[in-house]
Amino acid sequence: MIELDKVGLSRGGSVIVDDVSLRLDAGEILVILGESGLGKTTVLHAAAGLLEPSSGTVTRWCERQGMLFQEARLLPWMSVERNVLLGAPGRDVWRPGPRPDVESALDEVGLRDVAHLPPFRLSGGMQRRAALARALFARPSVVFADEPFAHLDSASAKTVGVALGRVAAEGAGVLMTAHEITDIFTTMGNYRTLFL
């Protein structure tokens, strides 16, 4: 599904990471662990195709991918519902009327009641959950999640963990970053770790 073979990434002449290899298969959760500044996000972005490696190879066998950045990156002039719709290319964002598919995605992250609000009316944790709903809305075969539990209260973190565990149980690969393993990781089910 995703394979990095001896990947190195440099920026401005400085080596950020060197000789990173990993493989993510369907239905698997792989957590890239390490302290701040070691290149976890850089490796995640290379795996997602957002950065070109300086050396090594990145191979992707996936039809659709969802991305959860460290910041929510929601469009402030659109409702939460329309932001979620942006996660699925080819869907009509502007079609009026009820959207059971979006309602279901928002239910999963506990945001159905705020679907009509603009993102700036939500707390930071709610914005992160809306961004997760958008990432999962396309039914991706791979989800890339950068620090998905950062700055979340325990209830929100549990919601995110359960959602990531569900997509993995349904066959999607999940590649994510974290500073450390905490109790909330048990909500996802089985996972592997890669230390940078």
Q: What is the pLDDT of residue 4?
A: 98
Q: What is the pLDDT of residue 87?
A: 82
Q: What is the pLDDT of residue 86?
A: 87
Q: What is the pLDDT of residue 100?
A: 72
* Residue 152 φ/ψ region, left for φ over 0, alpha for ψ in the -120 to 50 degree band, beta for the rest: beta
Q: What is the pLDDT of residue 94?
A: 64
Model confidence over 94-117: pLDDT tens digits?
A: 666 667 788 889 999 999 999 999
One-letter amino acid for residue 123 of the chain: S
Q: What is the pLDDT of residue 102?
A: 85
- Give the residues of the chain that fall short of pLDDT 70: 90-98
Model confidence over 57-82: pLDDT tens digits?
A: 999 988 889 999 999 999 999 999 99
- The strand order across the sheet containing 2-11 reads 14-24, 2-11, 55-60
| Domains within the chain, CATH numbers bracketed | 2-195 (3.40.50.300)
**Residue with structure tokens 């002039």?**
77
Q: What is the pLDDT of residue 179?
A: 92
* Residue-averaged pLDDT of the chain: 93
Rounded Cα–Cα distance for residues 173 and 86 (Å): 21
